[in-house]
Structure 1
Amino acid sequence: MTTVSQDLGNRLVSPKESGLDPALFVPLLRLLAEGEPVALGDLAVASGHTIEQVRLALAAVPDTEYDEAGRIVGQGLTLRPTRHRFTVDGQELYTWCALDTLIFPALIETTATIESVSPASGETVRVTATPTAVTSVEPAGAVVSLINPEDLTSIRSAFCNQVHYFTSPEDAQAWLADHPGGEVVPVAEAYRLAADLVKQMPGNLRVGAAAGTADDTAACATPQSAEPSGTAGRAHGCC
């Protein structure tokens, strides 16, 4: 894993940097994965927080999406279309960035079918990701772009909007020219970063995904056991 990826991973799991609190974020992902807007009260119950605590935590992520009724429709995982289609259990969802598509199968404990359009060529990259592995990548040489911005306060605009799938390193050349501090990595390496992020979450909030061996088209992770604890675990299967 590159220095950029390692430093980025440490920052993304720090609530002080990204504003994302795993104790709230993971239950929210699981509720959004059901395909409906999430009321604050439902998130409070699922996460074991008060509604006021939920409001304060959500305020730390200014990019959080709401509908006209004040319900949450997106935070990383979203009900609103983006270039990253993320289909789980028959629900057609979307994510803010390419890396999200590789992190979320472990956090919501289900296999995802991913279709993402390259911002350069307009071609579609197709990936299948389980909670512990990437099992298919088309085309096989697809890559994921990464940046490590100075400020992650507005995580969607600062980070997510630049993290894409490209069909090949060549397809990403224009993006690299515009982002001299960025890099592109094979999908398998991006998956290792995703698995490492999951490993760094508190034990009662993550499933057993861990970085393992991988090639350019697939990556496997060795499960670790984690006993459910807390309201969030009881509500939606601990992770």
Structure 2
Amino acid sequence: MTKLSVNINKLATLRNARGGNMPNLITAAQDIEGFGAQGITIHPRPDERHIKYQDARELKGIVSTEYNIEGNPVQKFIDLVLQVQPTQVTLVPDAEDAITSNAGWDTIKHKDFLSEVIQTFKAKDIRTSIFVDPDPKMVEGAVATGTDRIELYTESYAVAYAQGNKNGVKPFKEAALKAQEVGLGLNAGHDLSLDNIKFFKQEVPGLLEVSIGHALICESLYLGLENVINMYLERLK
């Protein structure tokens, strides 16, 4: 079964909108795990507009499943991850002012930089993953960095699926097969939802973990958080 890691950034956005502590991220993370999710993901940004760096520190003592911290490896982020030592760090090349992640790494162009950062994290026994587009060349490039896994950037699949084009999954299947060939673990995330997750899971081999936040929280407004998590788990079997 593919593991479900729930990204709680949107809960932090809702909390920050009022400046208090509602919803409480600690309670939410515990509840999400209690409902069956196998991981918690956060993506702190330098401006802390949703997840705050202190949230990352406090969640370390709470999350009992896999704890995944995503972000652009600027020095502030590197220092945070080394301090917190989560289960996994996912490196994402997003600009500071980006609303959300919008591209994967060029693992060939940035090989030396990624290799250095990954060695730093692996020295602390933190599993590493690189956010990449579904391009076999980028998958091959990731191997040379020493990363443990890649995370496929799935927005193009979600857009194609919503338009009725199931062929949009083909590049992801090819990238997944390449990952298996070169010995990389495979994660995926971005715009995956209850509508498109089952087909993606069926078509993409070797999928270890998906990270889902925005869609899951939106769906939960209508269907309830516990119910939605179990709906995802059923589709990921």
Query: Normalised by the size of structure 1, how large is the TM-score?
Result: 0.31
Query: Normalised by the size of structure 2, how large is the TM-score?
Result: 0.31
Query: Which is richer in helix?
Result: 2
